[in-house]
A and B are shown apart, each in its own frame.
Chain A
């Protein structure tokens, strides 16, 4: 079946620190992988995605590389800002049927000045 295992939070970092949020997946077929972000009181926004092995998704300074050999899609940012404080969700979309999204449990990031 399809599942996503995500690093548990919460994560608290100082501004300009390096961020890594781990994500590994189990899937049948060839899934696409996503990171969504949920800012306080808001809905989910797509942060970045990768549709095939070795693809790198990037946006707003965040990056994640689709690693098929380790079934991972870790999120990284070199220097976080207070405005990055949010909940981050790793997700996969199965390649069959309805292309439903399967989400990880979310990781809450708090960046302090």
Chain B
């Protein structure tokens, strides 16, 4: 039933580790996004993919690498995790209607 799903919901890990967050949407949308929400609730776009191709990459460190195996999935891989990466990461998707649908978020805590 879930339109946009993310796994895991919570992720606690040590500094320096590599981790992945997965996102799947069953809405048939062709554009997917990753957003980062910091501790002050500020939301900022990280990546945008359209039909499996990267169309925007904001000023995000290259330790973050999105991967889109198909139109329904956009995964986020993070290398060498740092304390400042602790945040909530939201996946979203959109068709041509401009309304974006968000996943429930992945709460990442780097220790």
Contact = CB atoms under 8 A, between A and B. Distances in A.
A contact face: mostly helix, strand, loop, or mixed: strand
A87 interface: yes
Interface stretch (B14-22, B43-51, B60-68, B76-84): B43-51
Interface in A29-43: 32, 34, 36, 38, 42-43
Nearest to B49: A98
Contacts of A97: 55-56
Contacts of B101: 46
Interface stretch (A16-24, A74-82, A99-107): A99-107
B33 A106 contact: no
Interface of A: 32, 34, 36, 38, 42-46, 49, 51, 87, 89, 93, 97-103, 105-106, 108
